Amino acid sequence: MKIIEIDGKSIKKDGHKYLKKVFNFPDYYGNNLDALYDCLTDIGAPTEIRLKNKNQVSWDMIDTFIDASEANSFLNFIY
């Protein structure tokens, strides 16, 4: 299983630019929550995403990660 740790402080500072880099999203990544959801639900291998400093992240973004993990059986989100 691949484990990806993301930092809420970095998300707050650099937003989608940070997420694009951490997840290696494609160049056409739309830099919004809909694009984040789409890319997360496309993950095709067992992956655990661990969020630290969650108090720095909007609940809309956390909900996007939760929704994507519910839609994608390969994805587990821990916050």
If 0-12 CB within 10 Å is exposed, 13-18 middle and 19+ buried, where does residue 16 land? Answer: middle
pTM for the model stands at 0.94
* Residue 11: C-alpha distances to residues 42, 46, 56 (Å): 21, 23, 8
List pLDDT tens digits, range 60-71.
999 999 999 999
Q: How is the chain split into domains, by residue range?
A: 2-78
| CATH code given to domain 2-78 | 3.30.370.10
Q: What angle do CA 7, 11, 13 make, to 5 degrees?
A: 115
List pLDDT tens digits, range 5-21.
999 999 999 999 999 99
For residues 14-37, give the mean pLDDT: 97
